[in-house]
Structure 1
Amino acid sequence: MTGWRSQWHLVLLNSLTCGLEICVAAGITYVPPLLLEAGVEEQYMTMVLGIGPVLGLLFIPLIGSASDHCNSSYGRRRPFIWLLSLGVLLALFIIPHADVLAANLSWGSTSRNQALQVGLLILGVGLLDFCGQVCFTPLEALLSDLYRERDDCGQAFAMFSFMVSLGGCIGYLLPALDWSGGLLSFYLGGQAECLFSLLILIFVVSVLVTMKVSEEPSSTLELVPSEPGRFFPRSCCYLFQCKLRALKSGPLMCLLRTCWSMTPAIYRSYCHVPRVMRQLCLAQLCSWMGVMSFMLFYTDFVGEGLYEGVPSAAPGTILRQRYDEGIRMGSLGLFLQCATSTFFSLVMSRLVHLFGSRVVYLSSMVCFTISALVICLSKSVLLVTAMSALTGFAYATLQTLPYTLTCHYHKEKEVYMQNSKTKKGHTNGFTITRDSVCLTLDNGPGDLNHKSDISNGHVSYSGDEPEYYPPLHQNGAALGLESEDFGKRGVGLDFAILDSTFLLSQVFPTLFMGMIVQFTESVTAYIASSAIFSAIGIYFATHIIFDQKDLRS
C-alpha cells in the first residue's frame, strides 16, 4: 500500500476517527463547568464522568462480537457505526440545550426544572462518552477488514493513531477559544451552543466521508431452510424480526432470557480469550493505566504542585491566579503530548520496520516511565513541559501496535490461536492424548486398530502392558482434554476487549486517585502512580507474543 492515493484514502477512511475524537475531547472538556453550573457537586461530577466507561466495559464485547457475526447487506461494521453515531449526535444536541429542554418539560416548576436539567446533562454526558468510545471498536474492525496484510494493517492503524492524535489536538483547542464574541454565537445563543453546533457540523461531515469511502464488502446472506423448498436469508434484519415475534408472544420471558443470556456472554468475552490476547491485554491495561493517570490529573498537578496554587481560593487572589496559570500551562503540556503523538503516529510504521515491534513498544513505555519520574522530581516548568510532550510517544504506540498485533494473530490463527490444547494423562505407564485413541459408541469391527477393541463405551488396550479402561465422557474430560475453539473468534471481539482495557484504565484512576492523594497529602502521587503503573506495564510487555519466536520461549 504505497502512493499518495492510498494515503489519502486512509485519511478519508479515518475521518470519522478524527471527528469522534474531536467531539469526545471537546465535549468532555466542556462538560464539567456545565455540570457545576447546573448544581452538581464536585464529588459527584467525577462519578458522572465514569458512567460512559462503565457502560462501555459491559457492552463493548457484545457489540464487537455482534459485528463479527452480522450478515447485513450494508456490511458487518457499518450498521453499528451508524447507530453509535446517532447516539453521539443526540448527545451533542442534548448537552448545550439541556436548560431549554428542561424548561419546556418542567411546566414552570423550578425544582423540577433543575432536576430535569441535571438529568438531561447526565444523559448527554453518558451518551457522548459511551457512544463515542464504543464507536471506535467497529471502526478498528473495519480497518482490519479492509487491510489484511501485516504491512498494510500497520500503516492503516498508524494513520488511525495519527487521526486520533490530530482530533485530540483540535478537540482540546476548540473549548479554549472564545466563541461568545462572534456573530454566529449571537444567533445560536452563546458559547456552548456555538461550540456544540460546530462539533455537530464536524461530526456529520466526518461520518458521511467515512461511510462514502469505506466500501465495505456486503456479506453473503446464509440461507436457512424453514420448510421444504423454502429458504430465508439469515441476516440481522431476519433475526431481529424473529426476536420481535418472540417478544410479542412472551414479552416478560423474552426479556428475562435476553438478560440471562447477556451475563455468560460478557463473562466468556473477558475470561475465555486466547493466551496471546490475554498477555497483550494485561500489558495494555497496565500501560493505559499509567498513561491515563497522567493525562487525567496532569493539569491539576501542575496547578497545585508546580505553581503552588489553590483551586478553592477566592477568584482574583494570588493563590487562585497561580492555580489558573498552572492549569493553562498543564493544558499546553497535554497539547504538546498530542502533537508529539501525531508525529510518532506518522513515523510508527518506519520505526517498526527498522527496530521491530518489541523494541518500539518497550522503548515507548520506558520513555514514558522516565518522563514521569523526571516530572515527579523536577520543579522546573520548562523541563516538566518537555517531559509531558515526550509522553506522546507511548500514547501513539498504545493506539497502534496492539491492534496491528491483533490483526496478525487473527491472520495466522492456526499459529497463535490453537483450536484446542491437550493435557496428557499418565496412568499405569500410559500416555493418552487426543490422537492416541478414537472413541465411538458403535461396537463394530474395524472401528479401532488391532491393538484395541471397544465395549460399552470403554476402550481396552491389549498387549503385554497392564490393561487400562478409561471411561468415556462427553467433551473428552476423562482423557484430560480441554477444548477451546478459537477458530471462529472474530477480530471485532478482540478489538472490543482491547478497548475495554482503555476504558477500565479510566475507571480506576477516577475512583481511587482521590483517596491516594488525600492519604499522601501531595498531588505528586498522581504522577508517581502513573510511573508505577507504566513500570508494571513494562514487565508485562516483555511477555507479549510479538512473533512466532516468542511462542517457543
Structure 2
Amino acid sequence: MTIDGSAGIESGIQRDDNKNERDRLILSESPSRRNQRPKRSFCQLLRNGSQQFALEFAFSCETALGTPIVLQLGLPTVLQGLCWVLGPICGFVLGPLIGSLSDNCTSRWGRRRPFIFVLNLLVIVGCAGYLNVQYISNDGLGITVALLGILLVDLCAFLTESTSRAYLLDVCDVDEVTRGLLMRTVIGGLGCGCAYLVAGINWVNTPLGVVIKSNYELIFLLTVLVYIVCGILTITSIAEEPLVIKREDEKEDEVGMQTMKKYTTEVDREGLSPPEDEAVPTLRERITSIFRMPTCMRWLCVTHFFGWASFTTIVLYFTDYFAQEVLHGVPTAPINSTAFQLYQEGTRLASWGLCGFGFSTAVLSLLFLKIRSCFSTKALYIGPPLIFGICVGSMAFFVDYQILTLVLCSSFSLIFVTITTIPYDILANYHSDEQFTHPQNGPIRGQGTDMGILFAMTFLGQIVISILIGPLVTATNSQLPVVIMTTIMAFLSVICAFFVTYQ
C-alpha cells in the first residue's frame, strides 16, 4: 500500500513540503498570495483526490497477488523478498530527484500534472507486466517480467502519491489542503478495500468467465479502467498556472495555521546567507545524518522504523501466509492438484480479510480527529501498535480458525493510521522548540531534513523485512515467521515509544 500512507492530514502536508525545502526551490509568488488561492468546491477537491483511489487500488492488488504470482512461477522462497526490496531502494534514491524535476517543470500543463500523467502510464505498464505473466511460457523470463512489473508499480505509485499531494498544495490554500487530504484518506481506504474485494472473487466462475481466461486478466482490465477514469478526473480537476521558478534568499516563513514551513531556505545560526545550489543529499549522507541526530529524534526514528517494519511484514505476506499456513496450499504444486487449488482459494480468502482492513481504515480515518481529542499523543502512539501486535500474534495460536484469522485483519488499520500520523505530529512539535532547531553544539536542524530522515524509515523497514523473511521462511519450512516477525516488530515499536519525547 502506498504504502506512503494516506491517513495523515498534517503529516501529509509536511511530507510534501519536504521536497521543496530540500531543493531550496520556490515559486515566484509571495507567501501572502500562496494563502489567497481561490476557494475550491467540494466537487473539485473530490476529483483532485480521486487519484488516491487508483493508487491504493493498484498497490493493494499488488500486495495481495504479487508474492503468490512469483512463487507460482517458481521463484525460490528464500528470494521472495525481491518483490518488495527493489521498489523501496529505487524510491529512496529517485524520490528527491523526481520532486526536484517537478519543482522545475515549466510545462504549460503546470508542474505536477505532466508527472502524474507519465507515472500513471508507468503504473499501468507495471500491472501489465506482473498480471499477464501467465502468457509467458518461459518461467525464468516470466519471473523477471513479474519482478520488473512489481518494481514499477511499487515505485511509481509512491512517486505519484507524493506528486499528486504536491499538486493539491500548489492549487489550494491551507484550509482547503486540510479538507483535500482528509478526502484523500477516505478515498484511499475505499480504493484499498475495493481492490482486495476484487482480488477475493473468483471471476472465472462468474458470467464474465466466458470472456476472460483468468482472474488476473480481469483485475488488470479493471486496474486500467480505474486509472483512466481517476487520472482524467484528477488532471482535469483544477488548472495549474505555469509559474516561473526562481531562488529566494530569505529566512523560513511559517505558513497558515498548520505552521508548515513551505518553500523556505535554511539560515545558519550566525545569520549568514543561505547556501547556494545545495545538492540533494546522497544515500551515504542521509545515513550519516541519522547518527548525528538528537536523542529524542533518534528514538522517534527507531520507533517509526519498527512500526513500519511490523505493518509491512503482515500486509505484504499475508495472502501467502494464509494460503500456505492456514489452508495448507502449495504454490508450486501441479495446476490441477488439490494443493494448488487450496493455495488459489487461500489467496482469495485472504484478500477478503484485507478488504476489511481497507474499509476499516477509511472509517477510522473519518473518526481519527475526534479520537485525537480524547487521548494523549503518547497513548495513541503506544496503544494501537500494542493491540495490533496482540491480534497478529494470536494468529499463530489460531491457525486452524480461518474466520477468526480473517476478522483479525481489521486490526491492521490501527497501526496503519497511527504510523502515518502520530510520528509527523511529534516531529512538528519538536520543530516548534528553538532548542531543538538551534542546538548549542550542532548545526541548525531543518524540518525538511528531519522529515526526509523520518520518511526514509518507511523504506528502510520494508527493505530489512524483505531481506529477512525469505531466509526465515526457508529455514523453518513454515510461514509462521511472518506473524512472529510482525508481532516482534510491533512490540519493539511499543517499547521504543516509551522513550520518545512527547511535548
Match of 1:20 among 55, 61, 64: 55
Higher strand proportion = 1
Cα deviations across residues 82-126 of structure 1 (Å, max 9, x unaligned)? 3422322332444556688x8xxxxxxx9xx77665544443332
Stretch of structure 1 that moved more, 202-211 or 157-166: 157-166
Partners of 2:311 and 2:337 in 1: CA distance: 33
Does residue 136 of the first structure (1) align with residue 161 of the second (2)? yes
CA offset at residue 25 of structure 1?
A: 2.2
Q: Measure, in 2, the Cα distance between the counterparts of 1:80 and 1:176.
A: 32
Q: Which of residues 444, 460, 484 in structure 2 aligns to 1:528?
A: 484
| 1:69-88, Cα deviation, whole Å (9 max, x unpaired) | 76777555444433422322
Deviations 1:490-529 (A, max 9, x none): 4xx7665555433332222222123334445553332122
Match of 2:390 in 1: 370
Residue 534 of structure 1: how far off its partner (Å): 1.0
Distance 1:56 1:342 in 2: 26
The answer to whether 1:512 aligns with 2:468 is yes
Note the C-alpha offset of 1:195. Answer: 3.0
Q: Deviations over 1:4-54 (max 9, x none)?
A: x86654432221111011122224544556556766555545424432222
Structure 1 residue 170 displacement after superposition:
1.6
Q: Identify the residue that residue 503 of structure 1 maps to in structure 2.
A: 459
Instruction: Tell me which residue corresponds to 1:483.
Output: 443
Q: Deviations over 1:343-378 (max 9, x none)?
A: 101111221233344433322212212212332334
1:422 matched to 2:430: no
Q: TM-score, normalised by structure 1?
A: 0.64
**For the Cα contact (< 8 Å) 2:196–2:355, is it kept in 1?**
yes
User: Are residue 388 (structure 1) and residue 409 (structure 2) matched?
Assistant: yes
Q: Quick one: distance in 2 between partners of 1:218 and 1:129?
A: 29
Alpha-carbon distance, 1:303 to partner: 4.2
Structural mapping, 1:26-37, within 5 Å: 26-27=61-62, 29-31=64-66, 35=70
Q: Verify: 1:213 aligned to 2:249, yes or no.
A: no
- Specify which of 329, 351, 355 is matched with residue 371 of structure 2: 351
Distance 1:10 1:65 in 2: 25
Residue in structure 2 matched with residue 272 of structure 1 by the alignment: 289
Task: Give the residue type in structure 1 aligned to 2:87.
Answer: G
Distance 2:73 2:336 in 1: 23
The CA deviation string for residues 127-149 of structure 1, in whole angstroms up to 9 with x for no partner, is: 22211123222234445566775
Q: 1:436 matched to which residue of 2?
A: none
**Counterpart selection for 2:82 from 40, 43, 47:** 47
CA distance in 1, matches of 2:177, 2:300: 18
Query: Kindly tell me: are residues 496 and 133 of structure 1, through their superposed partners in 2, closer, same or farther at Cα, counting changes over 3 Å?
Result: farther
Alignment CA distance shift 1:349-1:223 (3 Å): closer
Q: Which runs of 5+ in 2 are unaligned?
A: 1-8, 10-39, 249-278
1:200 pairs with one of 224, 230, 245: 224
Residue 11 of structure 1 corresponds to 46
1-side partners of 2:397 and 2:209: how far apart?
44
Decide which of 74, 82, 92 is 1:57's aligned counterpart.
92
AA partner of residue 235 (structure 2): M
SS at match of 1:200: helix
CA separation in 2, counterparts of 1:95 and 1:298?
Answer: 19
Deviation at 1:483, TM superposition (A): 2.5
Cα deviation for residue 310 of structure 1 reads: 5.7
* Partner deviation per Cα, 1:186-211 (whole Å, 9 max, x = no partner): 77876544432321221122122222
Query: Is the Cα contact below 8 Å between 1:161 and 1:400 reproduced in 2?
Result: no
Any idea what SS the aligned residue of 1:421 has? Answer: coil
Paired residue type of 2:385: M
Stretches of structure 1 that go unaligned for 5 or more consecutive residues are 103-109, 225-260, 424-481
1-side partners of 2:333 and 2:143: how far apart? 26
Separation (CA, whole Å) in 2 of partners of 1:309 and 1:37: 11
**Contact 1:28/1:125 (8 A) holds in 2:** no
Structure 1, residues 247-285: CA drift from partner, whole Å, max 9, x if none?
xxxxxxxxxxxxxx77x5333345437757655443222
CA distance in 2 between counterparts of 1:73 and 1:530 reads: 47
Residues 156-235 of structure 1: pairs in structure 2 closer than 5 A = 156-179=180-203, 191-215=215-239, 219-222=243-246
Question: Would you say how many aligned residue pairs link Structure 1 and Structure 2?
Answer: 431
Q: CA shift at 1:394, angstroms?
A: 1.6
Q: Aligned match of 2:151 in 109, 126, 130?
A: 126
Q: Report sequence identity in percent.
A: 23
Secondary structure, counterpart of 1:397 in structure 2? helix
Distance 1:132 1:143 in 2: 17
Q: From the superposition, tell whether residues 381 and 189 of structure 1 become closer, same or farther in structure 2 (CA, over 3 Å).
A: closer
SS at match of 1:355: coil
Q: Would the alpha carbon gap of residues 287 and 99 (structure 1) be closer, same or farther in structure 2, given more than 3 Å must change?
A: closer
Change (3 A) 1:521 1:24: closer
Distance between the aligned counterparts of 2:212 and 2:326, measured in 1? 39
Following the alignment from structure 2 to structure 1, what is the Cα–Cα distance between the partners of residues 327 and 225?
38
Instruction: Return the alpha-carbon distance in structure 2 between the equivalents of residues 15 and 266 of structure 1.
Output: 33
Please tell me the root mean square deviation across aligned C-alpha atoms, in Å.
4.2
Aligned residue identity for 2:152: L
Query: Kindly tell me: are residues 71 and 147 of structure 1, through their superposed partners in 2, closer, same or farther at Cα, counting changes over 3 Å?
Result: same
Say if 2:313 is the partner of 1:293: yes
TM-score of the two chains, using structure 2 as the length reference: 0.70
| Mapped contact 1:309–1:323 kept (Cα < 8 A) | yes
Equivalent-residue separation in structure 2 for 1:76 and 1:269 (angstroms)? 27
Q: What is the rounded CA distance, in whole Å, between the counterparts of 2:171 and 2:302 in structure 1?
A: 27
339-348 vs 295-304, greater mean Cα deviation = 295-304
SS at match of 1:213: coil
Change (3 A) 1:417 1:502: farther
User: C-alpha deviations, 1:203-236, integer Å up to 9, x for none?
Assistant: 1221222223355565443389xxxxxxxxxxxx
C-alpha distance after superposition, 1:466-499 (max 9, x if no partner): xxxxxxxxxxxxxxxx32362xx64xx7665555
More contact order relative to length (CA 8 Å, sep ≥ 6): 2
- Post-superposition offset of 1:538: 1.9
From the superposition, tell whether residues 361 and 77 of structure 1 become closer, same or farther in structure 2 (CA, over 3 Å): farther
1 CA distance for matches of 2:326 and 2:133?
37
Task: Name the structure 1 match of 2:28.
Answer: none
Check the 8 A contact 1:153/1:404 in 2, yes or no.
no
Inter-CA distance 7–271: structure 2 relative to 1 (3 Å threshold): farther
2:496 is aligned, of 513, 516, 540, to: 540
| Distance (Å, rounded) in 1 between the aligned partners of 2:73 and 2:339 | 26
